[in-house]
Amino acid sequence: MKTLIYSLAFMSMLASCQNAPEGETAKTGDKQEASATATGTTYTVDNATSTINFLGTKPVGTHNGQMHMKDGSFIVDNGNITGGSFTVDMSKMEIQDKDTAYSYKLVGHLLSADFFDAAKYPTSKFEITKCEVLTNDSTGTHRISGNLTMKDSTKNVTFPAKISITDAGVTATADFNIDRTLWGLYYGNDKSLKDKFIYPEVNIKLNIQATK
């Protein structure tokens, strides 16, 4: 009986341990110049239906959250995206963990100077610098590159996306990981913290809807 109890306890401990989030790792490099002459039709992001979800992990658990778009648009010419930019309102961040009692405290911490310092940097921004059509690629229909600005740091990130473009609108979804420390978000990134260690990888899931 003791052996069974120990085995169950060990299995429970393993189940509670978390690794870095799964997902396609975005390629990250230096800031690139965005096209100042992108031409085409502008599709405006629907803030009410577009979502930006994130997942952070640590050895003893995960945190799920959502950020909200302030404004954004795609520029489309001849059936392809030629430009666009998106602004995120950091003050409207939500935590969607099951432990709702802790969510308010966690949001406050994420918006503090330990992480995003939202009082000083109230928005984050993504500006498209390149969009390539992919052929027979299971990860997506397009490869998007853009300058991602968080706090006072800007890096160019590249990731696959599934994009549908019609005369009525644009739908874009993506699922990828970024390394938060590349934007100076170092809090908790020390393995000596053990169960308080926070993995640097953060998973981002985008579901963007835009219309004329």
Q: Is 7 within a domain?
A: no
pLDDT of residue 199: 95
Q: How far is the C-alpha of 76 from the C-alpha of 82, rounded, in Å?
A: 6
Which range, of 7-11, 77-81, 150-154, 188-192, averages the lowest pLDDT? 7-11
Residues 81/142, Cβ–Cβ less than 8 Å? yes
Q: Would you say residue 94 lies in a domain? A: yes
Tokens of 136: 């027979």
Q: CA quadruple 46, 29, 204, 116: dihedral positive or negative?
A: negative
Split into its structural domains, the chain has a count of: 1
Single out the residue of 176, 174, 122 nearest to residue 149, CA to CA: 122
∠ CA 137-66-24 to the nearest 5 degrees? Answer: 25
Contact status, residue 19 vs residue 170, Cβ threshold 8 Å = no
| Residue 2 domain flag | no
Q: How many Å apart are CA 130 and CA 209, to the nearest integer?
A: 19
In CATH, what number is assigned to the domain containing residue 139?
A: 2.40.128.110
C-beta of residue 110 within 8 angstroms of C-beta of residue 97: no
31, part of any domain: yes
Q: What is the pLDDT of residues 2-61, one digit of tens each?
A: 444 434 343 343 344 567 777 789 999 999 988 767 889 999 999 999 999 999 999 988
Q: Say which residue, 193 or 15, is predicted with more confidence.
A: 193
Q: How distant is the alpha carbon of residue 199 from its chain centre?
A: 14
Residue 104 maps to a domain: yes
- 152-171 residue pLDDT tens: 999 999 999 999 999 999 99
Residue 1 lies in a domain: no
The vertex-129 CA angle with 125 and 131, nearest 5°, equals: 115
Please indicate, yes or no, if residue 144 is contained in any of the structural domains: yes
Q: What global pTM score does this model have?
A: 0.88
Residue 22 lies in a domain: yes
Q: Which residue range is the domain that position 58 belongs to?
A: 18-211
